[in-house]
Every structure is written in C-alpha cells, then in structure tokens.
C-alpha cells in the first residue's frame, strides 16, 4: 500500500487553515480526549466523509436535538451497530455509484467508544471487517462505559476501580487484563490496523490518511483520556495519553497488509507503568500498602504485551 497519500506535508500552520468539522459548543466534558481526537481525525480527511456513531458520550454530547456539532453527514442509530450502520451506508453508496447516481469519492468512518466496540458492538464490527466494506472504524478507547457512569468494559485495564468492579476489601478493582482488540482486528487480515494517541497528532493523522487510502476496511484504536472515569486532572489529558505510550501501555504501532511496525519505541526511556497509574484516581488503591503485588502484576501484563508486540514486529516487520 502506498504511504504517499499526502499532497503536501502536514504542518500545524497548514492545518490551522482547515475548517473544523466538529464545531465548538458540543457538550463533551472539558478535558475529554474524544473531541480532540475527532478534530484530529477530521483534519486528516480530504474530501467528503460520512460518519456513523455508536451510542455513547461522543454521540449524546454532539447531537442534542435541535442542535448538532457536526458539519459532515453523521448518523447514529444504536449502541452495538456503528459498524453495521456504516456498512449499510457504504453499500448504498456503491449501489448508487454503480448506477451513476453519485459521482463523488466519499469516505466512511464508523465511530464507537470501547463499550460499543470491544463489547456490545464486537460482532457487528467483526462482520463488517470480514465482509470488506471500505470504511475506517475508529474506537476512542477510554477504558470503560463512561457515558453510563464508569462501568467496566473488556478494555478496562487490570486493577482499575470502576462502578461495576469497584476497589473493595475483597476484590481490588478489575481482576482481569484487557482485551487486545487491535490485534484481533489485525487477525481479520484487514488492509490496515493501528493504534494511535492524540498527544502525537502527526502520527494519528498520518494513520487516518493511510487507513482511508487502504483498499478495504481498516481499524484504529485511539487512547482517549477521560478525566471523569480516570479520576485525573482535566488539564492532564494529553500528558496521560503520552504516558500511556511512554509506558508501553498503549504502544503506537500499525499493521499494514500483514506488516507489523512499531511507530514509537521508547527503548531505554520506557517508563514504569506506575508513572501512568499514579496520576489516575482509579488506580489509587493499587498504591496502598499491601497491594504491591497488584502493581507488579500490572507491570507484568504491560511488559508481556510489549515483548510479544516486538516479536510480532521481528517476525512480520519489514
């Protein structure tokens, strides 16, 4: 696949001249990672784009009747079916284009949080990827059902305190490790799967461009700090997304037609997971005396995943 999809280099100056397609005035919380991510995504798109959105924070906060914050066609229908809804739209596009009723080249992006993607929307996502609809599915992953009040999802990190796996005296937060959805998407043999973070806008936007240029379905997981659920400072969102990458909790990597590439390897600057955990109230109990073992376990999971990702790059890299 060609990586030269940009006509001119992306600079902050050139991007500042592009129209914001998600307007201000939406009702997302201050400090929320999702609208920042969406702005970056839409700045990376050239030409017409149609969005679908699973039920969730991003959906309810951006389109509250009779207002909308979207300057592009946008559709929400339910929680578990952003991918299936986008599949229908994309298919109608192909049908009408075949008949000459549409001439334009339109891109399709399906959006969902981790609840709507890893859990309830998993089947619809898997089906849409397997069928080969030409769409980019983006999961903004804040690691819990934040819209309904911080319940655990299969993306919630080990040990986190949520309202359905509260840090109690018997069970200290989420006992399970998280599902690795990006690798599951790569296992669908789609043309492009990647992880990105809003602190590295250039990497994120380059990936969106690559994903949209892919010949077939593509998937991106993007870490999305949520100060309400993470119990963190509203002005720490970008810092926390950077630390997620620097600790290798959320490695930046991409799988292009089966080729695995780690986009950022901190090498000897890899930070301990505690650097990321300690800024978040949802992990506070892990630092209490007697819970050292849990912190070790959290570090072990990150190290295992990072090591196996490096092996994948060695085996299936360039």
Q: Which of 2, 9, 11, 65 binds other proteins (CB under 8 A)?
A: 65
242: left (phi over 0), alpha (psi -120 to 50) or beta: alpha
Which range of residues in 33-41, 96-104, 200-208, 244-252 is near other proteins by CB under 8 A? 96-104
Q: Which of 19, 99, 170, 269 binds other proteins (CB under 8 A)?
A: 99
59 forms part of the interface with other proteins (CB under 8 A)? yes
72 forms part of the interface with other proteins (CB under 8 A)? yes
Interatomic CA distance for residues 21 and 12, integer angstroms? 16
Q: In this structure, what are the phi and psi dihedrals at residue 113, rounded to the nearest 5 degrees?
A: -80, -175
Q: Least distance from C-beta 240 to other proteins, angstroms?
A: 28
From residue 122 to residue 161, what is the string marking binding to other proteins with x (rule CB under 8 A)?
-xx-xxx-xx------------------------------
Q: Least distance from C-beta 87 to other proteins, angstroms?
A: 5
293 forms part of the interface with other proteins (CB under 8 A)? no
29 forms part of the interface with other proteins (CB under 8 A)? no
The DSSP bridge pattern shows strands 253-256 and 192-196 to be antiparallel
Which range of residues in 121-129, 155-163, 246-254, 263-271 is near other proteins by CB under 8 A? 121-129
Tell me the number of residues near other proteins by CB under 8 A: 47
Helix/strand/coil (H, E, C) string of 185-250?
Answer: HHCCCCCEEEEECCCCHHHHHHHHHHHHHCCCCEEEEEECCCHHHHCCCHHHHHHHHHHHHHCCCC
Q: Least distance from C-beta 38 to other proteins, angstroms?
A: 14
Interatomic CA distance for residues 109 and 211, integer angstroms? 10
Interatomic CA distance for residues 254 and 218, integer angstroms? 11
Q: Which of 1, 3, 14, 73 binds other proteins (CB under 8 A)?
A: 73
On the 0-12 / 13-18 / 19+ scale of CB atoms within 10 A, 216 is middle
Which range of residues in 98-106, 163-171, 210-218, 228-236 is near other proteins by CB under 8 A? 98-106
260 forms part of the interface with other proteins (CB under 8 A)? no
Whose tokens are 């924070």? That residue is: 57
Q: Which of 1, 14, 92, 292 binds other proteins (CB under 8 A)?
A: 92
Residue with smaller CB distance to other proteins, 87 or 302: 87
Interatomic CA distance for residues 304 and 307, integer angstroms? 5
Residue with smaller CB distance to other proteins, 1 or 64: 64
Short-list 304, 215, 297, 309, CA closest to 260: 309
Q: Which of 32, 41, 86, 252 binds other proteins (CB under 8 A)?
A: 86
Interatomic CA distance for residues 285 and 160, integer angstroms? 9
Q: Which of 5, 23, 70, 264 binds other proteins (CB under 8 A)?
A: 70
Interatomic CA distance for residues 113 and 96, integer angstroms? 30
Give residues in contact with other proteins (CB under 8 A): 48-50, 52-53, 59-60, 63-66, 68, 70-78, 80-81, 84-89, 91-96, 98-99, 102, 104, 106, 123-124, 126-128, 130-131
């Amino acid at each position: 696949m060609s990586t030269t999809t940009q006509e001119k280099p992306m600079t902050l100056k050139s991007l500042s001249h592009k129209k914001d397609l998600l307007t201000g005035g939406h009702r997302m919380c201050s400090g929320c990672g999702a609208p920042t991510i969406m702005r970056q995504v839409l700045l990376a798109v050239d030409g017409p784009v149609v969005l679908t959105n699973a039920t969730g924070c991003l959906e309810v906060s951006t389109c509250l009747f009779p207002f909308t914050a979207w300057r592009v066609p946008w559709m929400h229908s339910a929680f578990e079916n952003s991918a299936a809804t986008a599949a229908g739209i994309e298919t109608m596009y192909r049908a009408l284009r075949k008949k000459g009723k549409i001439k334009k080249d339109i891109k399709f992006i399906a959006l969902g949080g981790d609840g709507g993607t890893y859990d309830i929307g998993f089947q619809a996502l898997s089906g849409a990827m397997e069928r080969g609809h030409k769409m980019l599915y983006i999961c903004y992953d804040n690691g819990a059902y934040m819209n309904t009040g911080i319940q655990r999802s299969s993306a919630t990190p080990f040990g986190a305190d949520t309202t359905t796996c509260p840090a109690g005296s018997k069970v200290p937060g989420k006992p399970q490790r998280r599902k690795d959805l990006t690798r599951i998407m790569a296992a669908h043999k789609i043309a492009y799967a990647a992880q990105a973070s809003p602190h590295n806008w250039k990497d994120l936007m380059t990936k969106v461009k690559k994903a949209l240029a892919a010949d077939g379905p593509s998937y991106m997981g993007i870490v999305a700090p949520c100060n309400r659920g993470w119990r963190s400072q509203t002005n720490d969102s970008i810092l926390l997304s950077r630390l997620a990458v620097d600790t290798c909790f959320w490695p930046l990597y991409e799988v292009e037609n089966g080729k695995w590439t780690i986009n950022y390897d901190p090498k000897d600057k890899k930070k301990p997971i505690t650097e990321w955990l300690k800024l978040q109230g949802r992990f506070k109990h892990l630092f209490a005396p007697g819970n050292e073992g849990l912190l070790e376990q959290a570090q072990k999971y990150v190290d295992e995943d990072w090591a196996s990702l490096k092996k994948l790059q060695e085996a299936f890299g360039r």
